[in-house]
Amino acid sequence: MKINEILRDVKEHPYLKVSETALLSQVARELIERPEIRSIYVVDARGRLKGTLSLGTLIRSLTAERHRPYFHTRSLLECITCQQVGDIMNEDVLSARANDNVEKVLNLMINHNIKEIPVVDKKGHLIGNVGLLDLWRLAGSESSKGSTGKGTP
């Protein structure tokens, strides 16, 4: 089974798509208005995936002045001066391609402790995301099709 089949069959997890120049304060307001969002993907003007922004990184950056005892002075200064998503986004993004095998993506997510993964087309455009539990459930149902029905795969 391929990831593009999963995108058709499962409900997409809500995510926020932002540009590198989006202000952190704007992203925070959007998240407050849409609390169901857990993933923030950074895209360029053409919709190509450039990075991710974790909720933890965003919150730490916006509340850095409250955490002085836990931050080194240099990192505290960086947090306070960051204003745009591009300043703090993670550019080392793991993503799935629409043609990837579900088992391959599932293993990638498990090995990197990822709960949701962005899905891109062959040009790198963000086309959706899938969750670990969705893949696990579908991979399990695929392997049970070959089962003898006696509790063994």
Domain containing 8 equals 3-145
At residue 67, the pLDDT reads 55
Residue with tokens 């293993």: 107
User: Does residue 25 carry a pLDDT above 60?
Assistant: yes
Q: For the domain that residue 97 is a member of, what is the CATH number?
A: 3.10.580.10
Whether 152 is in a domain gets the answer no
Based on the structure, what is the number of domains in the chain? Answer: 1
Q: What is the pTM of this model?
A: 0.79
Whether 52 is in a domain gets the answer yes
Whether 153 is in a domain gets the answer no
SS (H, E, C) the chain: CEHHHHHHHCCCCCEEEECCCCEHHHHHHHHHHCCCCCEEEEECCCCEEEEEECHHHHHHHHCHHHHHHHCCHHHHHHHHHCCEHHHHCECCCCCEECCCEHHHHHHHHHHCCCCEEEEECCCCEEEEEEEHHHHHHHHHHHHHHCCCCCCCC
At residue 59, the pLDDT reads 87
CA nearest neighbour of 50 among 8, 79, 19? 19
87-108 pLDDT, tens per residue?
889 999 999 999 999 999 999 9
Q: Tell me the C-alpha to C-alpha distance, in Å, between residue 98 and each of 62, 74, 93, 113.
A: 34, 40, 16, 20
At residue 37, the pLDDT reads 92
Q: CA 3 to CA 21: how far, in whole Å?
A: 30
